Amino acid sequence: MHLLELIIFAALAAVVLYQLYAVLGRRVGRQPEDATAPAIAPRAADSDTTARVFDSTPPSDMAAVRARDPGFDPARFLDGARQAYEMIVKAYAASDREALRKLVSAQVMAVYEKALDARAAEGRSETVDFLQPPRADLEGVKVEGEVVRARVRFLAEFRSRSKGPEGEAVDDRRTAEFWTFERPVTARDPNWTLVRVDAAEA
């Protein structure tokens, strides 16, 4: 009986230690050397632990959104947001401008274009691999005029492999950011567009 209890406690300890590692990553948020680079960018998650719908969304705002867009479902939206996040991060790393233009606004694309031009001029390239699925939390959604806007907090851990004149480098990072998406309430296209990125606390 004591042996069984020891096995159970050991398993619980392993789970707790893993969760602590997931929270206490090597790098969180933007670092000083990242100041000139655009933030990493979205679509979101199902009912697993990588996505939550915060109660901070006022019921009146959610009711207003559903009145204009009856099909809006927070869980489905987050599933799409997390997928888009991964697509944009990888497209930016690969300098895939065509893919980025389909997912971000003109203002966000202008920032990315500038950074991509600078990276190309320096002869640098990059690839990104996610170490685990990004976490996506819906912080709020509301209707503004004829547009629905949703703010999502992403927490991601990824490995960046870069090549430059000085050689190759591998860097494990952990980032926390707020992404704002929007779409017209009357649009038949169900896709959302990334319109803003802000740094967030882990």
Q: How confident is the model at residue 51 (pLDDT cuts 50, 70, 90)?
A: low
Q: Residue 40: inside a domain, yes or no?
A: yes
Q: Residue 62: inside a domain, yes or no?
A: yes
Which has the minimum average pLDDT: 48-57, 122-131, 142-151?
48-57
96 CB-side CA count, 13 A: 14
Q: Residue 182: inside a domain, yes or no?
A: yes
How many domains are there within the chain? Answer: 1
Per the listing, tokens 């939206």 go with: 77
Paired strand residues for 163: 125, 168
Q: What is the domain extent for residue 179?
A: 27-199
Report the chain's mean pLDDT, rounded to a whole number: 78
Q: What is the pLDDT of residue 159?
A: 94
Q: How confident is the model at residue 131 (pLDDT cuts 50, 70, 90)?
A: very high
Q: Residue 2: inside a domain, yes or no?
A: no
Q: Residue 13: inside a domain, yes or no?
A: no
List Cβ<8 Å contacts ≥24 apart for 119-124.
Answer: 119/95, 120/95, 122/164, 122/165, 123/164, 123/165, 124/162, 124/163, 124/164, 124/165
Q: Residue 21: inside a domain, yes or no?
A: no
Cβ-contact 45, 84 below 8 angstroms: no
Nearest-angstrom CA–CA distance, 179 and 104: 11
Length of the chain: 202
Q: Residue 8: inside a domain, yes or no?
A: no
Whichever domain contains 133, its CATH number is: 3.10.450.240
Percent of the chain residues past pLDDT 70, beyond the cut:
71
Q: Residue 14: inside a domain, yes or no?
A: no
Question: Cβ–Cβ contacts within 10 Å for residue 9, how many?
Answer: 10
